[in-house]
Structure 1
Amino acid sequence: MPKLWNETIETHRSAVRTAILDTTAALVGEQGLASVTMSQIAQSAGIGRATLYKYFPDVDAILDAWHERQVQAHLKQLAQVRHSADGPERQLEAVLQTYAMISYSRHGGAEAARLHQGQHVSHAQQHLNDFLADLLREGAEVGVFRDDVAPDELAGYCLHALEAAAGLTSREAAHRLVRVTMSGLRPPAGTPHLRPEEIG
């Protein structure tokens, strides 16, 4: 089969898959997870039910794929934010502000909790923890972040603290939470600078 034909088929499949994910997310947002059926998704996406079942076995599988796409987009967004700022302190603050806004805009309830149980979420959390630890390590080496606590522990502190943004009532409250989190990362007054190998 010619390469161009293969690329055309793959482009079509990708477009159909994207339409399925976007349509399902919109229907769940309007009606709630329990009310959405495969027939509704097929009709709204403009495809046949048989075609839909070739891509996904049920609504849960579609939502898992949609959520995985969202998670990957968020990770990419955080990486871009990091590279748009100068120096580890400004980079980390920009990343934490963005992460706080992601947490703040997250839908709550049992449906959101179910989406966050997938294996892709634990992989993403580990990636994000490593990403933040790298920034914190860089900052500790130049004295802008504390070095009396291991970077991976501080990264976990940041993530757990900013998950609280999901329950806040305003964007300003989320920004304040970032400022409080950042203050906990700065070196305590009078603390001697430790070498990386001295951190337990």
Structure 2
Amino acid sequence: MPKLWNETIEAHRREVREAILDATRALTTERGLLSVTMSQIAEHAGIGRATLYKYFPDVKAILHAWHHQHVVAHLEHLSALRAESSDPGEQLRAILSAYALICHQRARHAAELSALLHQSQDVDQAQHQVHDLISEVLAEVAQTGALRDDVPVDELATYCLHALAAAADLTSESAAHRLVTVTLAGLHY
């Protein structure tokens, strides 16, 4: 097959896959996570059921793919925030604030999505990546002398993750921002 043909086919496959994920997101938002069927997804995406089954065996597989895409986007966003400033303290505040908002927004999808998807390796791997990112920034903050030195950086990163996970239970984004302020205060004497 000519290279152009392969590229065209791959581009088409990506577009169909994105249409499937977008349709699933829209339908689950509208009808609920456990109320969506493969037929509804195919219709909403503008493809036949047979085509849909070529991409995914069931709704759960589509939800896993959508969730994976979502997790990757969050990780990329957190990493990009680090690159926006050369000051480690500003990097830390930006990353922790974004993470708190991610936790807060996740609460909207909470029960159903968590039960279905949050037992995956993607989530565990993402948590480790976020932990490592926060640990690295904390180590840089420690070099400036602006971080408590009685607790290892690794433990402080764990503290941040667990403290900010509480944002899922908060009622507003401003409450999530206040939680970030409290969390940051705990990192200093």
TM-score, with normalisation over the residues of structure 2?
0.96
Correspondent of 2:124 among 100, 118, 122? 122
C-alpha deviation, 1:101, in angstroms? 1.1
Match of 1:112 in 2: 113
RMSD (CA atoms): 1.0
2:90 alignment partner in structure 1: 90
Q: Does 1:72 align with 2:45?
A: no
- Give the CA deviation at 1:110: 2.4
Amino acid at match of 1:93: R
Structure with more helix by fraction:
2
What TM-score does the superposition give when structure 1 sets the normalisation length? Answer: 0.90
Q: Which structure carries more relative contact order (alpha carbon 8 Å, separation 6+)?
A: 2
1:88 deviates by 0.8
Shift of 1:34: 2.0
2:34–2:112 CA contact under 8 A, matched in 1: no
Corresponding letter in the other structure for 2:120: G
Equivalent residue for 2:51?
51
Q: Which amino acid is the alignment partner of residue 104 of structure 2?
A: Y
1:165: how far off? 0.6
Segments of 5+ residues of structure 1 without an aligned counterpart are: 189-200
Contact kept, 8 Å, 1:88 with 1:139, in 2: the verdict is yes
Please give the alpha-carbon distance, in whole angstroms, between the structure 2 residues aligned to 1:34 and 1:80.
34
1:15: which partner in 2? 15
- 2:175 aligned partner: 173
Residue deviations 1:131-186, cap 9 Å, x none? 11001111112211122211111111111111111111111111100000000111
Q: What is the identity percentage for the equivalent residue pairs of Structure 1 and Structure 2? A: 60
Q: In the aligned structure 2, how far is the partner of 1:70 from the partner of 1:109?
A: 14
Q: Which stretch of structure 1 is more off in the superposition, 67-76 or 30-39?
A: 30-39
Paired residues of 2:147 and 2:187 also in contact (CA < 8 A): yes
What's the secondary structure of 1:185's corresponding residue?
coil
CA shift in 2, pair 1:163/1:87, >3 Å:
same
What SS is found at the alignment partner of 2:151? Answer: coil
Report how far residue 108 of structure 1 moved.
4.0
Residue matched to 1:152: 154
1:141 matched to 2:124? The reply is no
User: Is contact 2:148–2:187 with CA below 8 Å preserved after alignment?
Assistant: yes
CA contact (8 A) 2:19 2:45 kept: yes
Please say if residues 108 and 166 of structure 1, whose CA atoms lie closer than 8 Å, have aligned partners that are also in contact: no
Matched, 1:60 2:89: no
Listed as ranges, the gaps of 5+ residues in structure 2 are none
CA distance in 1, matches of 2:179, 2:111: 25
Displacement after TM superposition at 1:115 (Å): 2.0
The amino acid across from 1:111 in the alignment is E
- Map of 1:131 onto structure 2: 133
